[in-house]
Structure 1
């Protein structure tokens, strides 16, 4: 089974005899999936030429089964040889034809109708999304791990493998970007059951879904795996269609949960974390600082004369100013630090494991960057400045730390604004 190239993919190739359906599909993709360039041709020869011209850049080939210059399903086989996922289009599908299509290792097939059109668009959107998600495959068989890895990479998931339960638990403890675990229940050493229990001590079923897998056709196994915390289960005799359906359904659920969490914990205007997210996570960082003796600092930041911006240029201008400031903060604040918009024009950041000099330098860089960034409005560009108060933590609790940083911020405002003051 050929492995798929992991090069960046930015194009879709549509190949079909029907000019009408081909053009409608291509235009629908251009309208609804703007991140991709859409190429549309009617023949095998034209398609092969484009595959070579843009080698390594196609996210998928969407092809009809019959082309004027190709045998049945030949274009699907060519896509596989070129390491490009294939999506099949058909007007009808009997059992024999379906088997021919699936033998070409397509990721899915759709009918040439209105529903099929939207299904293709949904799948292409999913393929783009999948590139952002990492799946951990845990199985003691390297051959089976490779098989699952190829199936998942065909859908553009990132995939990592572990061959023991201990290795899987170690990977999860060191990585915070795994979206799904695909786990064999029978492992040497730590069993699949034990791995799931360890996972559930760290992650809820909504935070990190687990799908159990078994080669033993024992009816007790699914219930046992589900009861100890797995989200789903399948036997190793699955069809590729079942496999993709279960994986994709689980990822859809995960993304829906994350979208709800974002709505609850992120500021809709700037995309930064909000107060509801900030306070519990700030206290967690303080606890970690005490336990691991990590240096910490908290900075309060406030846009200068923000009310004047709203009064002079309107609230839309104020919103643009908030977004520009937030973008500058996101650009310069590390991912391991905690950044939030607390309300109005007020922002807060907690630095961890940095020296006081490094914190001051980082804040000065941000202050100067904001001062020098234009905010484009309909009739003119404006700019804003920001005042900052920094408190280096000794042993204070969060409330005291924020009060001290607020006092320093007040001093920065009283001293002329557009400056950093340390408590």
Structure 2
């Protein structure tokens, strides 16, 4: 179900632009031109957020702002200007942001904020400070923007929290704390996690001119001096979360096959080596299956490369269904690989047979071209620490399956 956003704006052209922006990023949009009409909509619907004009026909002094805030609707204020009196009124309320309607950039910024709010629900932030009041203040700022919040009273507690919740994305840490100072915490986090995995923002109330540099040299990504302006806090935080998201996107693109969206050869070899090393240390064998689509060249020749692409995509979807707990990838062309995590060769072989049989019976219904296809599979089960010889043996068994009539498993 789409998230709903309420736009309260009495100028039709501006409301139209705002509605277009919100719709383009995936919101279901309602528009109110007065505070009174907004109240009726709020009574009837649950809103994920609201974009509120400061001046309305029946609310010329920003009265719509406390109404949406009191209704627990995260609120973005848009104003024609930001005179000191307007700014003072806006600052009284815990709004997400305020934006002046002065140029195109304002609407691009609105789009960014509307995109970030749903994303923030998945972002985990750890606040580390020995002051309970400071923890509460920063937590309230974060919760206003829909971040998931964890708290710790010092560096030692922070490391315990990170150990229990390794998917925390951002750490905001004070420096002056008992047991472990913030800069020491930074250094320890960087020993465990790279800049690509977690962002650290240092904060401090001291006037030490060198502390910001010490934080950055210890591994922090950013630094803020207390008391900080909430607007600057949000900007710095968003930039760091954007950075982590961009890095994750680059990683995903580098490790994903563009056509099937399966892991690619690079990803497979990197992670297979780690899994084989673990199995070898435990004196446990590793089962690898090499899978090849039968007569794939004939599919391309008879039906075209678009049809061949659809066949590859359909088998990629089957991998996610049949081998979701294992390491699998498209190695190239019509060749795929599965490295099983289970030590039970009997279960693994049964899983492969179910996969082969499913394609034999259902492949013609998997693409719009209704092309029936089968796969041949070569399997090896061996205790070995290197992936290359394992692939070589599985390839030889795959060749045997092909030579023996295809649509079968050879080991």
In the superposition, the TM-score normalised over structure 2's length comes to 0.89
Task: Check conservation: 1:295, 1:355, Cα contact below 8 A.
Answer: no
1:314 matched to 2:285? The reply is no
Counterparts of 1:126-165 in structure 2 under 5 Å?
126-165=116-155
Counterparts of 1:217-366 in structure 2 under 5 Å?
217-291=207-281, 296-334=286-324, 337-366=326-355
Mapped partners of 1:159, 1:328: distance in 2: 37
> Deviation of residue 316 (structure 1)?
1.3
Counterparts of 1:2-81 in structure 2 under 5 Å?
10-30=3-23, 32-33=24-25, 35-55=26-46, 58-70=47-59, 72-81=61-70
Mapped partners of 1:255, 1:132: distance in 2: 11
Q: CA distance change for structure 1 residues 65 and 165 in 2, over 3 Å: closer, same or farther?
A: same
Task: Check conservation: 2:284, 2:383, Cα contact below 8 A.
Answer: no
Mapped partners of 1:43, 1:86: distance in 2: 16
| CA-to-aligned-CA distance 1:251-286 (integer Å, 9 cap, x gap) | 222222223223322222222222222222221222
Mapped partners of 1:294, 1:187: distance in 2: 46
SS of structure 1 residue aligned to 2:169:
strand
> Deviation of residue 9 (structure 1)?
6.9
Mapped partners of 2:79, 2:73: distance in 1: 19
> Deviation of residue 81 (structure 1)?
2.0
- Select the residue among 65, 82, 87 that pairs with 2:71: 82
1:401 matched to 2:390? The reply is yes
Mapped partners of 2:171, 2:200: distance in 1: 5
1:414 matched to 2:403? The reply is yes
Mapped partners of 2:405, 2:255: distance in 1: 34
Q: CA distance change for structure 1 residues 384 and 36 in 2, over 3 Å: closer, same or farther?
A: farther
Mapped partners of 2:37, 2:353: distance in 1: 56
Task: Check conservation: 2:96, 2:145, Cα contact below 8 A.
Answer: yes
SS of structure 1 residue aligned to 2:316:
helix
How many residue pairs get aligned? The number is 408
> Deviation of residue 369 (structure 1)?
4.7
Structure showing greater Rg: 2
Range moving further from structure 2, 227-236 or 381-390 = 381-390
Aligned to 2:175: 185
RMSD in angstroms over aligned alpha carbons?
A: 2.5
Q: Structure 2 stretches of 5 or more lacking a match?
A: none
1:212 matched to 2:202? The reply is yes
Aligned to 1:5: none
Range moving further from structure 2, 36-45 or 137-146 = 137-146
Q: CA distance change for structure 1 residues 321 and 54 in 2, over 3 Å: closer, same or farther?
A: farther
| CA-to-aligned-CA distance 1:147-190 (integer Å, 9 cap, x gap) | 32332232222233333323332343454433222222233323
SS of structure 2 residue aligned to 1:188:
coil
Range moving further from structure 2, 175-184 or 240-249 = 175-184
Q: Structure 1 stretches of 5 or more lacking a match?
A: 1-7
Mapped partners of 1:290, 1:234: distance in 2: 48
Task: Check conservation: 2:290, 2:335, Cα contact below 8 A.
Answer: yes
> Deviation of residue 383 (structure 1)?
4.2
Q: Runs of 4+ in structure 1 displaced over 6 angstroms? A: none
Mapped partners of 1:394, 1:108: distance in 2: 58
Task: Check conservation: 1:294, 1:352, Cα contact below 8 A.
Answer: no
SS of structure 2 residue aligned to 1:63:
strand
Mapped partners of 1:295, 1:191: distance in 2: 46
Q: CA distance change for structure 1 residues 53 and 416 in 2, over 3 Å: closer, same or farther?
A: farther
